[in-house]
Structure 1
Amino acid sequence: MPELVYPPVILAAKAMFRLLDLRIRVEGTENVPRTGGAVLACNHVSYLDFIFAGLGAQPSGRLVRFMAKESVFRNRISGPLMRGMKHIPVDRKAGLASYRQALAALKGGEVVGVFPEATISRSFVIKEMKNGAARLAAAARVPLVPMVVWGTQRLWTKDLPRTLTRRHTPISILIGEPLRPGPRDDGDDVTAQLRARMSALLDRAQSEYPEKPEGSADGWWQPAHLGGSAPTPEDAAALDARDARGDGPDGAPG
């Protein structure tokens, strides 16, 4: 079936990157298999992460089918695009259907993108992760590829105004060596290995990032353990729990 929506979206995204003169660094693209199914597991610090995670798979000629919350597919603007790009809706109250759809895509030779943290990390470190990515890779017998993005939070992240016109922002996309879980492997153990690899990649992306916050007012995008003013993991977990209860600042789920 021809790809009528994905290629124009990629071209539009690359045009935006050029317009903003983003300084994009991509490493480890050889770890994305050129053929066959694979699960691409990425960290989550921005609403734009799927764009840059997809960019990381481009050198291998792969189009990533991301698993995303079902509400995005109901939006009158994003919905047609998401469906046209064959992304996979996730209803968190009834996840079996999305799991089966993702499994079928993997067995059909597709690359499926997953954000194992489920929601954006307000602390900008790797949160506790769901084991769905590991279970999918094991069930489909495909590689599980760790990836991290860094710098995307400076464009648009949770709790802060979007700054989509910010120019010259460095963006790092690092892809690690894949894990190859088998059907007999414990999903939680594989997830722990995945989290360790993603954390190591993120540590490197942060330490090698070419810019630092300009004064305390700019420290919001830097994690607390590196001297920034982002919430600590403990404070971020409390904010996530508030959102899950539905008592965010506007009285609705955050």
Structure 2
Amino acid sequence: MAELVYRPVIGFARTLFKVWDLKIDCKGSENIPRSGGAVLVSNHISYLDFVFNGLAALPQKRLVRFMAKESVFRHKVSGPLMRGMKHIPVDRGQGNAAYAHALDSLRSGEIVGVFPEATISQSFTLKSFKSGAARLAQEAGVPLVPMAVWGTQRLWTKGHPRNFRRSHLPVTVRVGEMIEASRDQYAGAITRRLRERVQDLLDAAQRAYPGHPKGTDDSWWLPAHLGGTAPTQEELRAAEAG
């Protein structure tokens, strides 16, 4: 079936990245299967993560159908694009419909992209993973493909203004080896192993990232354990509770 929206959007994104002169360092794309269904699982630190997740699949000639909150599909600009690219709307009040939609896509040989943290991590560290990705892979009989992105938060993330005018920003992407999700395994155990793998990839992406700020003026995007000023998860929870 012709991709009348997805491929032009990819071309537009690539043009923008050239204009911004983004320094994209992507490794591990060969771990994404060239055919058949798979669940692509990533950390979530930016509104643009899905764009870079999707770019990582292009060398394998694959298009990823991402699960995203339903409100994005109602937006007058993003809505038609999301529907045209066959992404999957998630209404958190009716999650079964999104799950069934994703399952059908996997069984038809598509790659489905999932952010198991559900929302953007404002600490830029991994939050707990929901088990939906593992359960989807088990039920569809497809592998999980872990990956991590880093640097995307500097472009556009929750609680900070968009930063599309600043060029030359680096973005690192790391894709790991597939994880099998057999039906005889406990979904919770698969989810824990998946999170550990994504954490390893995130550590690798951070190590490869070129240069960290030398003062505190531009360290908001770095987590505390890397010397930055981003709030910790404990601080965020305390703020929500208060």
TM range (shorter): over 0.9
Residue 188 of structure 1 aligns to which amino acid in structure 2?
G
- Residue 233 of structure 1, CA deviation: 1.9
**What residue number does 2:115 align with?**
115
Shift of 1:234: 1.1
- Matching of residues 40-79 of structure 1 within 5 Å: 40-79=40-79
Moved more, 207-216 or 75-84: 207-216
| Contact 1:213–1:222 under 8 Å retained in 2 | no
Q: How far did 1:237 drift?
A: 3.4
| Distance in 2 (alpha carbons) for counterparts of 1:108 and 1:100 | 12
2:227 maps to 227
Moved more, 203-212 or 24-33: 203-212
Decide whether the 8 Å contact of 1:121 with 1:236 is kept in 2: no
TM superposition shift of 1:2: 1.2
Structure 1, unaligned runs of 5 or more: 248-254
1:18: which partner in 2?
18
Instruction: Provide the C-alpha distance between the structure 2 equivalents of 1:7 and 1:238, rounded to a whole number of angstroms.
Output: 43
1:107-128 superposed Cα distances (whole Å, 9 cap, x missing partner): 0000000000000011111110
2:138 matched residue in structure 1: 138
Residue 238 of structure 1 deviates from its aligned partner by: 3.9
Q: How many residue pairs are counted as aligned between the two chains?
A: 242
Gaps of 5+ in 2: none
The DSSP-based 3-state class of the residue aligned with 1:220 is: coil
% same residue: 59
Alignment of 1:186-205 (within 5 A): 186-205=186-205
Runs of 4+ in structure 1 deviating by more than 4 angstroms, as ranges, are: none
1:43-71 deviations in Å (ceiling 9; x for gaps)? 10000001000001110000000000000
Three-state SS of the structure 1 residue aligned to 2:92 is coil
The aligned counterpart of 1:251 is: none
**Partners in 2 of 1:118 and 1:83 — Cα distance?**
20
The one-letter code sitting in structure 2 at the alignment partner of 1:191 is: T
